[in-house]
Chain A
Amino acid sequence: MLKRLILTVSTVLLLTVFAAAQTVRVTGSVKDASDGSGLPGVTILEQGTTNGAISDIDGNYYLTVNQGATLQFSYIGYTRQLVEVNGRTSIDVMLEGESSVLNEVVVTAFGMKKDQKALGYAVTKIDGSDLVTAKEVSVASQLAGKVPGLDITRPTTGPAGSTNIVIRGLGSLSGDNRALIVVDGVPINNTNINSAGMWGGIDSGDGLSSINPDDIESVNVLKGAAAGALYGERGAQGVILITTKKGAASDGISLEYTTNFTIDNAAIFPEYYQSEYGQGMNGMKPSTREEAAQNPANWGARLDGSPMVYFDGVTRPYSAKASDDLLNYYETGQTWMNTIAMSGGTEKVNARLSLSNLTNTGIVPNSGYDRYTVNLLTSLKLSEKLTLEMKANYIQEEATNRINLSDNPSNPGKAFSQLPNNISVDMLQQRRFEDGRAIAWSANNPFTVNPYWGPFEHQQRDDKKRFIGYALGRYEFNDWISLQARYAIDYTNLDYFYAQAPGTEHIVQGSIDQTNYETNDNTRDIILNLSPQLTEDISLNVNLGGVQNPRSRYDYNVSGNTFIVSDLFNINNMAVRNPGNYRISELQTNGLFGTALIDYRGVFFLDLSVRNDWYSTLTNPTDPDASQNSALYGGASASILFSEAFKMENETFTFGKFRVSYGVAGNGAPDPYLLLPTFSIESVPFNGASLGRVTSGTFPGSGLQPTITKSFEVGVDLRFLRNRIGLDLTYYQQNTVDQLFQASLPRPTSFDRYFLNAGDVKNSGVEMALNLTPIKKNDLRWDVTFNFASNVNTVVALADGIDNLSGESARFNANLLSEVGGQVNSIYGTVLMRNDAGQIIHDESGLPMIAPEREILGNYQPDWYGGLNNNIRYKNWNLGLLFDTKQGGEIFSITNQFSIGNGSHPMTLVGRDNPNFEIVGAGVTAGGGANSTAAPLDDYYGRISNAASENIFDASYIKLRQATLGYTFPKVQVGGTQLRELSISLTGRNLFFVQNGLDFLGLDPEAVYNIGGGGFEYSSIPSTRSFGINLNVKL
């Protein structure tokens, strides 16, 4: 079906571009009247048509028009100019700077385009061109540092892993605080289907990692419930609106080819380990192969180079490996991305088709990711009144051997944080004895394996096929009434395969786990638009609509263990088959909404919205009518262009706007089937009699109703010196109340969670964007953008009798806790007992004491964060430097815990010279006197490592996130055809840290293992530094 669609539309596209007329080809340049510099990006339009062009980087343009046409030159911040062609072939124009500016168009809910000046809330726009030069696999991570109030974390989970995008702090207690992603007006599924938890796992990416960056026209970030109100339940956490490129009326077709090659290298990794003492026990090096394999911790003798029988039976010197030995393991990752795009059209028909592929190999050996996309957008104006639009985007993603994370024994980082100081990578090449058994360097712990085991013995792959598309019809009854209907689909099929080879130390019989996930999100909406001009001064724009949003997910899992034949990775080769598991999740939200925008003389705007949603997840099957399953809410925002209203503009003060908004958004429960208990039958009986159990671990509360988010914001937008200085300030406060969340129940209740309706989380803060153009001359222009956001997150209330809510647990000694008066998801962990003077308190065995109760030790959310973006253009050269920072968050590092516990941390050198392998810990006893009891060295440091308080670090950083150096070739001719653009750039991503709170540990503050936002680091793989080259050709 898709194939036929592409064929039809392509044919139409090709036929229409050959339309000919009495035309003339006009060339020329557009310059700034104030300094004569070329103006890039000026829109040149043949008046009365949609035929147009955009000036290039030097301000040059060309366009084929009717001989008698009038050209319209428009550019943001400049007065529009109309020029008659009169048969001329060369037209140069000078544009005058405008005093009242900002006609920038942004995209808001349902794809409605609005003048930014009309908005009563903060929206930040990023042009697609800012995202295509220095690429990452997922466009999400490229937003870091570019938008005030957008908190991006890109964990070290592999090149195609997921990204955490949080806008204005953590509002929800129930876990998902990520912003809604909307592409071309349709919410897409951004679920991170597979993610790592405390016991391990892999990150199979999210919905955004499917989107080809070269297809993106612009990204608009809507913050706050007022902006998101129209997306209903899913917009309360803010919205990322992505608009993809479309075809436009033009003379002839446009061809664009972009290619990008990037290499990634392990850049940040632990190098601080001590290199003086090696593996062993009680200060002695192992004396036999068995002892070596059983005692991998660095509690042995001084590394003296004497011969030692290693874990594999080979005798080698007992000496330290190089501090960067792991670089012999990690490889240079490579990513090659290509996009070819064709577009064109006439007034009646336009289309854009892009094809792209991406091939990646990761830094972990034998890992990789490929992505293929095809994206077709077309618009057909069938009559003056009827327009049809269609979008078809098909994506195929294939990943192999994604990184095993956190506690997964095959996490290579877990091996590197536990390998003895004297075992280097070259000793690990051999993975098995001749009889097939694993050669274990840590035979005492089968859950730590050779770092080559996972990539080469296991098999992991996932294959995602996805279709995102819509069909839309719009009928314009007259020039002020139109009706639009749309059906949008986001369908994903993910096939996930994970096999652990037979002989794996912790599952010697081997295992296979295979799941097929199918998700289908539909959006069906109808919008009636009324835009009457009421009086000369007042215009009105009203939308009335309805939307249905059904979402479903089906998981089918088969698994088993015990390979019959050792090298056949097929589920039927498993002697033991676990019961198959088929899971269904279906839910739907229906909504009715209305909006009204009142525009008074283009200087005062009032935007009103109201919406009612119905949620299937809050409908109790036993009594649907009595269920409180609907919410009525709305918002209002107002803005005034006071500079224009009060005629305040002058040479210095260019523009001023004041805005204020208040909005409320409702939210249903995220998951279905939580209102009734459920029972199931186990597939395997016991001696012929079946087993059955209560499946639901959640105890449903009574009288559940929707969650409500209330949001207030006020802001100003000021511009000076003809836009050379711009300042945008926002203050906001957002409360999320009556939260639907699953509170942890103490286990003696026999249930895990209590599904209830309570709580109040407040986020308040300021956001600032400062735009400066310090230099603007003929050939030289320097733009600086500084953005800053600070958020204060407070749990105002939880439920009656519940004063804290525990969240995700780390594998050891810490978990997340949201406590009344504190922040959401604080790190709560064990604490080493110290007296008032800060000295460690020891017990009667001479070991440091751990306090009986956990304490709040920090929170991964930063106090403030921001970015500094420099863009310098000199003639055809362009230099970009982007720094970003987060300040004031904390991270919990299990890598550090391991290094203390296994004697590789330099602090464990203290006490090594004691002949009895004992240490008298510095500090006091519980009685208060000086500690004089000696304790075994390994027990002593083992105890310290177990206190989470010793493994908490400042996660602040300043990073040179991106650097680009580009050159645009002037007027290149190829075979008589002039290229519209030819540019080449050198790029770098994550180049270096200016500041890193984890510098000593050699860890990246983003090196958490999932996007839950908790700040747990567990033997992460190194974060990478990338260098790339980007070539763009437009024909």
Chain B
Amino acid sequence: MRGPAVLLLCLLLPLTSCDNDFGELNTDPQAATTLDAKFLLNYSINRAGSSRYESWRGNLIYTSQWAQQISGSWAPDNYNTTNEDWLSAYWNEAYGTYMRNIQNIIDTEEGTNVEAMAMIFKVLIMQRVTDMYGDIPYSEAFQGGNFPQPSYDTQEAIYGSFVSELRQAISQLSAGNGPDVGNFDPFYSGDIDSWKRFGNSMLLRVGLRMSEVNPSLAQQVVGEAISGGLLTETAVLQFDGSMPGGVVSSGIGSVFNDFGVGGGGFAFSDEMITRLQAANDPREAVMALQYNSDGSVNTSVGPGEYIGKVNGADITSIYDFAMPNHSVMVAYDSPIIFYSVAEAEFSRAEAIMRGWASGSAQDAYEAGVRAACKQLALYPRATEITDADIDALLAEDAVAWNDTDGMELINTQKWIALLFDGFEAYSNYRRTGFPDISPGLTSGESPNAVPRRMRYPISEDLTNKANYDAAVSRLSGGDVITAAVWWDAN
């Protein structure tokens, strides 16, 4: 057909015949041009927990080290942030990967349950991003070439959007409203009531974050969230373990296992280990182990004897310190928790202390500790922590409730419960100042103080300069890690 004969005809016939079938030829025979939203929802949530790239850089290297839950041989531990790839990893993946798919659901499934789920997940992801960096593109974001250079919204405005988007999502969720996503929803298998609770819990996270900067709005949002009903089941990505290192295994697990034991370069921080040991915390034995450099377990030390690494300190060997138990906490099939029952309880306890909700702060706090210990059961091969162990823990001086130290107790225990969710742990620390950690030993970019934010990726300066410059001008001292974000008024 496309032989020389056609060429001859091409010479003789009207010129338009020379592009016959080009439309068909220019259609990728292997790609769809639309796709059902449930696939996209499943992908986005999975990707957020299973990708080694940003789990390593955004979660572990930055926020978890700065929250001082862990410490390692990676530069930001000493407050040096020159590695642009690490700095931009979460930004790039959140906007470029999760949101490209989430936005497609929002654009095509208006008014449905699956859109509501997408909106709740959107707020979870984008809250992490604004909490890390400060003002970010939001109202003009996710639109491709329609806004090739999206402007930066203030964090205050973004939080306003979070509240209204969550409200809309919660009210939109109702039985029969749009497609049943079933097991394409890895959190709650499409259960509408669970998603409403998840939405309310996100409203609680968003509201509480504004406690220091806009207490009246915070009080209103927190009250609304709690009365709406908080989650009773942790939002978690539970891997079945069949695919180590593949698409659907823990991103954090990949960091700790792809390079052999110790290859991930992280140990528990001294702050974490000393707090666990001060309370004879039964979780220490489940969470920590010390290893030899050949990967075998160092049996000469046990719980109570483990040593955590001091953040920012030079070390000679990572094997001198206690690491997360590789077969329990950071295995390929270890779960990734997005929002735990424990966190919801601790936040509710704080709300009660602030007088923003009714009930007993102590009860909520103890429910939080209990849930935090029990959530270890989500981890494979974990030794169960018994109710008796928990009762003993709650009686320890360092943990036992007293009203005076309530805020510190709540937020210290919350910090332990948020292990491997550095995003939330780091933000909650900046907001509350708890736990009372010592800044890393370092002469880096934030001498003698825990950094307050991450620098923007260099790509923003390159491709969105005017808007980037405007955002930087609103920061104290420029695009530096010592500048506080809007809600960080403490």
Contact = CB atoms under 8 A, between A and B. Distances in A.
A673 B181 CA distance: 30
A793 B213 CA distance: 53
Contact of A525 (B7, B32, B91, B478): B7
B401 interface: no
Interface string A497-520: 000000001111100000000000
A853 interface: yes
Nearest to B443: A845
A311 B44 CA distance: 44
Interface string A840-872: 000011110010111000000000000000000
A3 interface: no
B40 A694 contact: yes
A745 B293 CA distance: 44
A647 interface: no
A680 B10 contact: no
A576 B463 contact: no
A679 B32 contact: yes
A590 B91 contact: no
Interface in B32-90: 32-36, 38-40, 42-44, 46-47, 73, 82-84, 88
A526 B26 contact: no
Contact of B23 (A288, A576, A620, A744): A620
B429 interface: no
B244 A620 contact: no
B302 to A, nearest CB: 21
Given A505-B259, A630-B19, A686-B248, A584 B28 contact: yes
B49 to A, nearest CB: 10
Contacts of A854: 458, 461-462
A443 B318 CA distance: 10
Interface string A731-753: 00000000000011111111110
B6 interface: yes
A844 B136 CA distance: 29
Contacts of B104: 694
A526 B149 CA distance: 48
B145 interface: yes
B27 A526 contact: no
Given A592-B18, A614-B19, A746-B460, A682 B247 contact: yes
Given A616-B19, A847-B443, A691 B91 contact: no
A443 B315 CA distance: 13
Contacts of A540: none
A752 B88 CA distance: 14
A852 B478 contact: yes
A511 to B, nearest CB: 9
Contact of A487 (B4, B6, B91, B148): B4
Nearest to A578: B246
Interface in B301-355: 314-319
B462 A806 contact: yes
A655 B406 CA distance: 99
B96 A576 contact: no
Contacts of B457: 747
A300 B96 CA distance: 43
Given A697-B96, A747-B95, A616 B460 contact: no
A478 interface: no
B99 interface: yes
Interface in A619-639: 619-624, 627, 629-630
B176 interface: no
A1026 B359 CA distance: 85
A678 B100 contact: no
B223 interface: no
A108 interface: no
Contacts of B144: 699, 745, 749-751, 754
- Most A C-beta atoms less than 10 A away, residue of B22, B104, B136, B447: B22
Interface string A664-683: 00000000110111111110
Contacts of B103: 750
A587 to B, nearest CB: 7
Interface stretch (A131-139, A142-150, A301-309, A544-552): A544-552
Contacts of B42: 686, 689-692
B479 A692 contact: no
B74 to A, nearest CB: 11
Nearest to B247: A684
A579 to B, nearest CB: 7
B33 A754 contact: no
A331 interface: no
Nearest to B36: A692
B101 interface: yes
Given A680-B32, A691-B46, A750 B99 contact: yes
A526 B148 contact: no
B380 interface: no
A446 B74 CA distance: 13
B404 interface: no
Interface residues of B, number: 98
Contact of B22 (A524, A612, A624, A853): A624
B260 interface: yes
Nearest to B129: A748
A964 interface: no
A588 B28 CA distance: 14
Contacts of B30: 582-584, 680
Interface stretch (A290-298, A768-776, A951-959, A980-988): A290-298
Contact of B11 (A592, A623, A752): A592
A619 B22 contact: yes
Interface string B120-139: 00000000000000001100
Nearest to A508: B260
Contacts of A623: 23
Contact of A678 (B31, B147, B246): B31
B294 interface: yes
A910 to B, nearest CB: 19
Nearest to B143: A749
Interface stretch (B167-175, B182-190, B192-200): B182-190
B230 to A, nearest CB: 25
Given A291-B317, A526-B8, A548-B7, A749 B40 contact: no
A630 B38 CA distance: 40
B4 A748 contact: no
Contacts of A276: none
B11 A620 contact: no
B274 interface: no
A616 B100 contact: no
Given A590-B10, A592-B15, A748-B141, A845 B444 contact: yes
A756 interface: yes
B142 A749 contact: yes
A4 interface: no
Nearest to B151: A748
B447 A621 contact: no
A546 B8 contact: yes
A191 interface: no
Contacts of A334: none
A488 B178 CA distance: 56
B263 interface: yes
Interface string A567-609: 0000000001011001110111010100000000000000000
A679 to B, nearest CB: 4
B131 to A, nearest CB: 16
Given A744-B459, A749-B150, A509 B245 contact: yes
Nearest to A588: B25
A844 B482 CA distance: 14
The 7 closest A-B pairs by CB, nearest first: A692-B39, A699-B144, A624-B23, A678-B31, A748-B137, A845-B443, A679-B35
Given A576-B246, A676-B33, 15 more contacts: A446-B263, A505-B263, A590-B18, A592-B18, A621-B23, A681-B35, A691-B247, A694-B104, A701-B145, A747-B91, A750-B142, A754-B144, A801-B149, A812-B83, A830-B82
10 contacts: A506-B259, A526-B7, A584-B29, A679-B32, A691-B43, A747-B96, A749-B141, A749-B145, A749-B148, A845-B444
